[in-house]
Structures are given as C-alpha cells and as structure tokens.
Amino acid sequence: MRDKLTIGAFRASALTIILALGGIMLFLFREGVPALTKEPFEGLVFAVHPQNPVRRLSADECRALFQKSLTWSEVGGPAVSPLPIHLYNLELYVGSQASLERIRSFLDSVAQLPGILVALPRAWVPASLRPVEVRWSAWEALFGRVRWSPTYEPLPEVGIWPLLLGSLWVTFLALLITLPLGVIMAIYTAEFLPKGLYYPMKVLWEVVAGLPSVVVGFWGLVVLVPWLQKAFHLHTGETALAAALLLGWMTIPLMASLVEEALSHVPRLLVEASYGLGATPWQTILRVKLPAIRSALLTATLLSAGRILGETMIVLIVSGNAPLLPTTPLSPVRTLPATLAAELGEAPVGSYHYHTLFFLGLVLFLLTLALNILAYAITPSEKTA
Amino acid sequence: MYKLQAQSVSVWYGTHQALYDVSLALERNHILALIGPSGCGKSTFLRLFNRMNDFIPGFRLTGKVLIDGEDIYAPSVDAVLLRRRVGMVFQKPTPFPFSIYENVAYGLRLQNRLPEKLIRERVGQALQQAALWDEVKDKLKKPALSLSGGQQQRLCIARALAVRPSLILMDEPTSALDPISTAKIEELLADLKRAYTIVIVTHNMQQAARISDYTAFFKDGHLIEYGRTKDFFTNPQHPETLRYITGRFG
Amino acid sequence: MPLHLRKRLPKRWGEAILTFLVGAISWSMLVALAGVVGFLVYRGGKVLSWEFLTTPMREGMEAGGIAPPLVGSLWVVTLALLVGALLGTATGAYLSEFSPKGRLHRLIELLVNTLAGIPSVVYGLFGLALFVVALGWGASILSGALTLSLLSLPILIRNAQEAFSGVSPDLKLASIGMGASPAQTFWRITLRLAIPRLITGYVLAMGRLLGETAPILFTVAAYYLPTYPQSPLEPTMMLPYHLYALITSGTNVARTYPMAFGTALVLVGITLLLTTIAAILRFRLKKQLHV
C-alpha cells in the first residue's frame, strides 16, 4: 500500500513538469497573442471636423498627424495644420455634473476647428464630429517597423526589429569571445592540465558560471564602461561591446565544460592511431580530436547562444538601453530580455503595451526553444551545466 | 511433495531464448548444484525461483515453476512476498550501509512490526547459523563495511537466513572470496542443509561435488543431465556431461 | 636504414609555445575572477559592518544597511528551495527509480531539458501572469518563491537523478532480493546513500537562486520597503534587485555607490561561498566513486 502512495506521489511530481511547461506556453500565448489581435486604441475613436474629407487613415499616418510631422493636405485633407487632441481617461475627470458640462462644452467648441483630430472614447464623440477609420495592422506594426516606442499613446510604435536584432547582435559578438576562449580552455584542461589541478579548474568554472549577473553587470558599469569610453573616445561606454565582453566571459565555462566533455570522449582508437603514426600532441588535437567533435562544438555553440540570448541584467546595466537598430559594436543597444525587465513594471496589466511585452517574451521563448531543440537534435545525449 | 519443481520451463528475453524446456524437481533439505559453462542459463534458472528475472526487459516464460506445489508465476502471486520467503545470496557481498546488526535485521523490519526482542533473537540465531556470531558478537553496532570480504558474504547469508526463508538461492557465492573464506562457507552450507533447501550456482566443480546432493548440468539453455551428485561425477550418462567434467577436472 | 630520431626542434618549439599560451589563457580566467571579486572587496569592504548587515536603509538608500533585502532574499530563496527540492527530488526519483523506461519517461526528460533552456526572464513573465495576476496574489513572497522554484526544477531534477542512479545497483538488487518492494528499497537504501549528493545539489541551487534578478523583478521585489515582511503575501526587498536599484538610482552617486559596492560584495560573497562549497563537495564525491 505504501508502495502505491510513494510511486503515485513521485509520478504526480513528474507530471507537474508537464504542467509547468504547459503553463508557461499557455500564459505566454494567452497574454502575447492579443498583441496581434487587438488594437492599441481599443475603445477609442478618432474623429475629425465634418468638412474634413479624409475618411480613413493608416496607423502611421494618424500617428504622424498627432506628432505634427504630417499635414492634412498630405493625406487628402484640408490645407490646415493638424490640431491633435488626445482625451483619455475621461472617466476619471467626470466627478460632477459641472465637470461633465465643462468637457461637453470643450468638445463642442473644439469641433469648430477644421484641423482637428480627436481621439476619445466612443461614447463621448459629439454629433458635430465625424469618426475616421484608422487601420492598424498588427503584423506590420510589430514586424514591419523599426522603431520601438511603446508608450506613445494612443498609437505606440512597436517595431520589434531593433530589439530582436539587438539581441542577435550582442549574442553574435559575445560568441566571438566565448567560442575561441571556451575551446582553448577545454583543450588545455583535457590535454595539458596536470591531473591534480583538474577538479580545481572545474570548480573555477562552476564558480564563474555561478556569479550573479547583476554583480558582473555592476562591475562592468564601474570598470569596463568608463574604460571603453576613454579607449574609443565615445560619448558613452554603454555599448553592445560592453555587454558582449561581459556576457562572453560569463558563458566561457559553459562552452568549456561541454567541449571538454566531448574531447575526453573521443574514441581511444582514433587517438592511438594518430600517435601511432608519429603525430605530436598538438597535431593530434588539431587534426583528429577537433574534427571528431564537430557536432559537439556546434551543439555547445547553440546552447551557449541560447544562454546568452536569455541573459537580462548584464545587458540592462551596460548596454545603454537604446532601442535602435544596431550598427557597430560601439553603439548602444537593447535586447529582448532587457526590454522585458525595463518596461514590464510600468505597463498596466491588460494594456496593449503589456500584451506586446508578452509577445516579446513569446518570441524570446520560441527563439531559445528553437536553439535548444536544434542543439539536442544534433547530439541527443544531454549534459548539465 | 517436492520442495521445488520446474515443469517444461522455457525462458525468452525478447526474441532470444535462454532456457529450453527444463524440467527437474528437488526434495526439501537437499542441496542442488547448477553447473555449466558461462552463459548456459544456470543463473537464469536460479532466478526463476524468486522471480528476479521479472526486472529484465522482454522476459517471458512458458511452463510451470512450483515451490511447495504452488505455481509462483500465477497472476495472483505477489512477487514481493515471494522474495521474502525465498532468500538470495549474490556473487559479490553487498552489505547495506548500516551496522552489522541492522543489516541482518533488514529483512525482519520489512514486515509488520515485530517486537524488538524477537528481532534480537533472530539476528543472533542467523549470525550463529552463518558461523559469524563469534567474530562479531562484540561489535554488532559497527558498520558492516568494516568486515572483511569473507565475513561480509557470511553476513549476507545471515541476512538471508534471518527471515527464515523456505528456500535459499545462491549465485556463485564464493567465487569472489579467498580459499579460507570459501572453505568456511562450504562448511556452513553442509549444516544449513538440515533446516533449509538450497540451490547453488557454481562454476567450481569440486565445490559442487563436495557439498551438493544433486547436480544439474546446463549447456546453451538446455538441461543436459540431472542426477544424484555421487552418480553424476562418477558415472555421467550424457557424453556432453562427461566432456565438460573431464575437461574441467583435467 | 638509420632511423632519424633526433627531435625536430622547430615543430616542438612551436608546440611548446602554443601549449604555454593556451595555459596562460586558461588560467587568466582565475585572474579575471580575482580581479572582479578583488575590486568588489576593495571598494565594498569599507562599507561592510555589522550595522550594514543588520539594519535597514535610511535616507532613501544612501545610508544605513541592507538588512531588509538580505532577510527578504533569504525568505524567498529558502521557500523556493523547499518547494523545488521536494518536487525536484521526487521527480528525479521517479525518473531514476520508478518510471518504466518508455515514452512517458522520454517525454518528461525532454521537457526537463526544455525547461532548462528557458531564460529566467520568461519564468518571471510566467510568474507575473499566473501568480501575481491570474491568482491575484500580487507581488509577494509566495509569487516570487514559486517562480524561483520552477526555475530551479531542471537543475534539481537532474541532480536527483544522478544522485539516485549513482547508488550501486548491487545494493538495490540485494534489497529487492530480500523481498523489499521498490519503494522500500528506495526509502531505506537508495535515498540514504544519495543524501550527500542531493545536499550538494541543494546548496548549489541556493547559490544560483540568490543571484537571480529577472524572475523576481515583477513577482516579489519591492523598490523601497525598509521593513521586514510579515506574511507571505507581501512583497519584500531582495538583494539583487536592491543592487540594481542602487546602481540606477542616480540621484546621489557619491553616496549610493558605496552602498552598491557593499551590497554587491555581500551578494557575491554569499553566492561564491555556496557555489564553491557545492562544487568542491560534488567533485570530492565523484572522486570517491572512482577510487
């Protein structure tokens, strides 16, 4: 009887794993998909002067009008300058009959102006104004634009490319450090390190890998960033390079331990054949061992890339947090995880910004998932880090 | 009634057949030795009697295996209970990471709460039957791992005896031990026979000849010959048996 | 035919240099670590004091101590570890000892590997959506601890699996042979023998969890709350987030930075201690097995 209890309880624990992963995917989809299906200005209507011939606008045009970077005539309207008014949270102002009256009279007076463009809740649109249709294409907004400015109401710019490319750029730069140094350290540890120092070296790797990233980021901010600023004569040292250097360094132990594991499993027969032919240790390493672990190298790179992609704090602290398209290693950059960390605190739950951030989380999740699946498809035997 | 019986037993592991139509019977309080070249199926046959083969993937059996007339592979049989009634000693001594006393008491504690006094008695008796009592009576609380190899194996025997099994199975119990420990264990087997029925797998033919009452010779999963030990070694019936025995003796 | 056995000096020379370089690069990791930690000790050591560790902050965060985040971190991480250790060890036991090695087993192992690769910030998102919003617990110790425990599951499951598989199969068979059921064998033999290895895993997990920032940002960490939590449904300050807050507060760098250094030193000190102990223990145990 006790047997059944034990096995049942343990099996139930194992099933929570399924629940956990399922839950993560469920919530990411549930909160992220609305970024594709909803409009950021839900419940709001855009209205213009009845004599304004414009009947519909694209989201970009509407936004440009609000920002006054576009004139009415450029979109087929009258030759007056746009007068944008955004009335949100009207409910909050309606405290008394008096304030209701005030808002109504304000709206009525404003409705006279020919260049007007008002964004306000549907219920408040006075009869004297005419609504226009504003087209919002979520796919275009997310994947067709390169500006990220999600808090601009009522038409946020949510182009994710600067963030996505920022992530990829930083990951690429970091791998330039992780890959060669990780392989070098793996070779040294597997081939030349005195046996007594093997475990101390591995302890060293575990220790470095276990450093809190916020501490490494802090060190980077205080030491590395000023140094970069001086060395490259920059406006600020907070750059993609700073993040890449730190991230690359922190990921070396992961790469090194995966590669070292692979090196020590190269079949003896191959190694002995090489030595038997008179090859030196280095010749054997470069000509026999490294080629033999090609797929392990690829797996290790993919797993390291996945780890770097998901890292949040170092990037948040030292990379400048500018959601711009990355150009050089010396420009500031913003990655997907850093965006989540920086903006989630300020996005009201259920708002469009909130959903967009979860969409970012979904993209990040799928990206790292793809990397991991690829990595395990190449070498099925898993390894802990 | 026979203590144990095999009736036309065949065993498969997946598609590989390990035993072919084996039949034999043994009366109580006798020792049966199973001999044969490695891989002949003698260990498989031994483990039929406590259903340890159940854990090997793809295990399949036809025929009947009976202990005290009961089919132990019947669906209503609880294998766990069976193993408490049949003791097993393995080739390598496997003391648990407990004290000497707790090792011997292990099997007793598996069952419903027996009074501590009874457990103490049984442990003492088992250690005496295993000819280990004199050597450990003063250090029962010491860890079992502090004993020598031969002592550890006798401890495993005591552990098996403590639960008063009706049948004891031994899989090459002395092959990992030195000659002196081996001799001690062979001595105690002769004593144990009076109260227990024992089946022992051994690759050492002199041992089989010395201690057993009946011998069974297996080759390639077939039972080649089975008979009283006296006759078996002096006058084997089957040419294969003769070849095996003389080959090993020579 | 004479065998020309004299060493080909040029090639061997090159190899020696290569080996030396490779060794130097490898050991530079130690130098780098020492540099980072040393720098923190140097700048943060001045701030450390008994008062620093046991009193709350004053004057914004510019003076006083870091007791609230320290206590908060300990609360959340300990709770997270308890849940994670329970679930993780049970799951590891199931995978290693009780699960028939069929499709369900492979599925669960695949899922564990998948969970291991998910970035910690995504766990934070999940924790936010589920515990904080959907279940309505708000930013609280409970939300944060459960989020962290999920994060720690893959490590703890793998650790438990290895710990249990590492127990000698002979002993398990001997126990089964005596008529112990699989569950009895597990509780009496396997678990006992696996305890050292299990504990190593718990210590390592604790070290890792203490340093995690992203998952606690939205689920528990308070920006400025210089009191101690009274219930698990309250938010609390936490060490890594406090460090981040100090770094980015920017109002009076001359005063906040020393506090930041002190905080960083405490955080890295605790983490280093736990990680080093766990790593040394783990490799000691590995060596034992091979002897």
Name the pairing type of β-strands A56-58 and A130-135: parallel
The pLDDT assigned to A337 comes to 96
The pLDDT assigned to C96 comes to 92
Q: How many other β-carbons are positioned within 10 Å of the β-carbon of residue B96?
A: 23
The pLDDT assigned to A286 comes to 86
Q: CB-CB: which of C26, C210, C268 is closest to A188? A: C26
As a whole number, mean pLDDT of residues A237-252 equals 94
Domains in chain B: how many in total?
1
Residues 6+ apart with CB under 8 A from A185: A252, A256, A260, C25, C26, C29
pLDDT band at A187 (very low <50, low <70, confident <90, very high): very high
Nearest one of A338, A336, A166, A353 to C248, comparing CA atoms: A338
Residue B108 has pLDDT above 70, yes or no: yes
Residue B34 has pLDDT above 50, yes or no: yes
Does residue B84 form part of some domain?
yes
The answer to whether C2 faces chain B, any CB pair under 8 Å, is: no
The answer to whether C117 faces chain B, any CB pair under 8 Å, is: no
The pLDDT assigned to C101 comes to 82
As a whole number, mean pLDDT of residues A50-58 equals 84
Alpha helices in chain B (DSSP H): 42-48, 79-85, 100-110, 116-129, 133-136, 149-161, 179-192, 205-211, 229-234, 239-249
Could you read off the pLDDT of A61-76 as tens digits, one per residue?
888 888 888 888 787 7
Quote the CA–CA distance of B40 and C282 in Å, as a whole number.
Answer: 42
**Which segment of A71-80, B130-139, C31-40, C122-131 scores lowest on mean pLDDT?**
A71-80
Does residue B55 form part of some domain?
no
Nearest one of B199, B171, B187, B234 to B30, comparing CA atoms: B199
Nearest one of A295, A307, A263, A285 to A175, comparing CA atoms: A307
pLDDT band at A384 (very low <50, low <70, confident <90, very high): very low
Residue C15 · residue A280 · CB < 8 Å: yes
List Cα–Cα distances, C75 to A211, C71, C81, C206, C235, in angstroms.
20, 6, 10, 12, 11
Alpha helices in A81-160 (DSSP H): 90-93, 97-110, 138-143
pLDDT band at A5 (very low <50, low <70, confident <90, very high): confident
* For testing contact with chain C, the best of B55, B81, B99, B110 (most C CBs within 10 A): B110
Structure tokens at C251: 């109002």
Could you read off the pLDDT of C124-181 as tens digits, one per residue?
999 999 999 999 999 999 999 999 999 999 999 999 999 999 999 999 999 999 888 8
Quote the CA–CA distance of A175 and A189 in Å, as a whole number.
Answer: 20
Q: How far is C27 from chain A (nearest CA, A)?
A: 8
The pLDDT assigned to A244 comes to 95
Residue A368 has pLDDT above 60, yes or no: yes
The pLDDT assigned to A381 comes to 57
The pLDDT assigned to A385 comes to 36
Residue B14 · residue B59 · CB < 8 Å: no
Residues of A in contact with C237 (CB under 8 A): none
The pLDDT assigned to A380 comes to 65
Helices C67-93, C191-210: crossing angle, 10 deg rounding: 140
**Which segment of A157-161, A182-186, B234-238 scores lowest on mean pLDDT?**
B234-238
pLDDT band at A336 (very low <50, low <70, confident <90, very high): very high
The pLDDT assigned to A246 comes to 96
Quote the CA–CA distance of A384 and B15 in Å, as a whole number.
Answer: 36
List Cα–Cα distances, C59 to C224, C236, C246, C266, in angstroms.
11, 18, 13, 21
pLDDT over 70, % of chain B? 99
Contact check, Cβ <8 Å, C177/B50: yes
pLDDT band at A180 (very low <50, low <70, confident <90, very high): very high
pTM exceeding the 0.90 threshold for the entire prediction: no
The pLDDT assigned to C5 comes to 54
The pLDDT assigned to B249 comes to 53
Structure tokens at A220: 């980077």
The pLDDT assigned to C290 comes to 58
* For testing contact with chain A, the best of C21, C94, C282 (most A CBs within 10 A): C94
Strand, coil or helix: B67: strand
Could you read off the pLDDT of C244-273 as tens digits, one per residue?
999 988 777 788 888 899 999 999 999 999
The pLDDT assigned to A383 comes to 47
Quote the CA–CA distance of B78 and C175 in Å, as a whole number.
Answer: 16
Query: Which DSSP helix (H) or strand (E) runs through C189?
Result: none
Quote the mean pLDDT of chain B.
89
The pLDDT assigned to A288 comes to 83
Structure tokens at C227: 């009191």
Residues of B in contact with C179 (CB under 8 A): 80-86, 107, 110, 163
Does residue B21 form part of some domain?
no
Q: CB-CB: which of B55, B97, B107 is closest to C178? A: B107
Nearest one of B245, B156, B237 to B204, comparing CA atoms: B245
pLDDT band at A109 (very low <50, low <70, confident <90, very high): confident
* For testing contact with chain C, the best of A199, A205, A313 (most C CBs within 10 A): A313
List Cα–Cα distances, A294 to A180, A263, C249, in angstroms.
14, 10, 47
Residue C63, classified by CB atoms within 10 Å of its CB into exposed (0-12), middle (13-18) or buried (19+), is: middle
The pLDDT assigned to A89 comes to 65
Tokens 């008014």, residue located? A85
The pLDDT assigned to C291 comes to 46
Structure tokens at C150: 């999920």
Residues of C in contact with A181 (CB under 8 A): 25
The answer to whether B84 faces chain C, any CB pair under 8 Å, is: yes
Residue C278 · residue C204 · CB < 8 Å: yes
Contact check, Cβ <8 Å, B81/C179: yes
Does residue B222 form part of some domain?
yes
Residues 228-267 on C with a CB inside 8 Å of A are 240, 243-244, 247-248, 257, 260, 264, 267
**Which segment of A117-121, B149-153, C207-211 scores lowest on mean pLDDT?**
A117-121
Quote the CA–CA distance of C193 and B94 in Å, as a whole number.
Answer: 14
The pLDDT assigned to B250 comes to 43
The pLDDT assigned to C1 comes to 47
Q: Which domain holds residue B230?
A: 27-50+77-245
Does residue B113 form part of some domain?
yes
The answer to whether C171 faces chain A, any CB pair under 8 Å, is: no
Q: How many other β-carbons are positioned within 10 Å of the β-carbon of residue C152?
A: 28
Residues 85-114 on C with a CB inside 8 Å of A are 86-87, 90-91, 93-95, 98-99, 107-109, 111-114
Contact check, Cβ <8 Å, A214/C260: no
Q: How far is C208 from chain A (nearest CA, A)?
A: 6
Tokens 């069929």, residue located? C102
- Amino acid identity, position B71: D
Quote the CA–CA distance of C262 and C278 in Å, as a whole number.
Answer: 24
Contact check, Cβ <8 Å, C118/A188: no
Could you read off the pLDDT of A261-305 as tens digits, one per residue?
999 998 887 888 888 777 778 888 888 888 889 999 999 999 999
Exposure on the CB side of residue A339, measured as CA atoms within 13 A: 32
Residue C224 · residue C237 · CB < 8 Å: yes
Quote the CA–CA distance of A343 and A315 in Å, as a whole number.
Answer: 14
Nearest one of B188, B167, B185 to B176, comparing CA atoms: B185
Quote the mean pLDDT of chain C.
89
Residue B73 · residue B51 · CB < 8 Å: yes
- Return the higher-pLDDT residue of C62 and A370: A370
Residue C211 · residue A210 · CB < 8 Å: yes
Does residue B64 form part of some domain?
no
Residue A224 has pLDDT above 90, yes or no: yes
Q: Given a contact as 3+ CB pairs under 8 Å, which chains touch B?
A: C
Residues of C in contact with B87 (CB under 8 A): 177-178
As a whole number, mean pLDDT of residues C105-130 equals 92
pLDDT band at A94 (very low <50, low <70, confident <90, very high): low
The pLDDT assigned to C153 comes to 95
Quote the CA–CA distance of C274 and C44 in Å, as a whole number.
Answer: 20
The pLDDT assigned to C40 comes to 93
As a whole number, mean pLDDT of residues A356-375 equals 94
Quote the CA–CA distance of A124 and A107 in Å, as a whole number.
Answer: 9
**Which segment of A217-221, B74-78, C236-240 scores lowest on mean pLDDT?**
B74-78
Strand, coil or helix: B31: strand
Residue A248 has pLDDT above 60, yes or no: yes
List Cα–Cα distances, B100 to B95, B96, B126, B133, in angstroms.
8, 9, 12, 11
pLDDT band at A25 (very low <50, low <70, confident <90, very high): very high
Q: CB-CB: which of B52, B80, B160 is closest to C181? A: B80
Q: How many CB pairs under 8 A join A and C?
A: 249
User: Domain containing B124 — which CATH number?
Assistant: 3.40.50.300
The ipTM is 0.91
Contact check, Cβ <8 Å, C247/A317: yes
Tokens 């092959």, residue located? B175
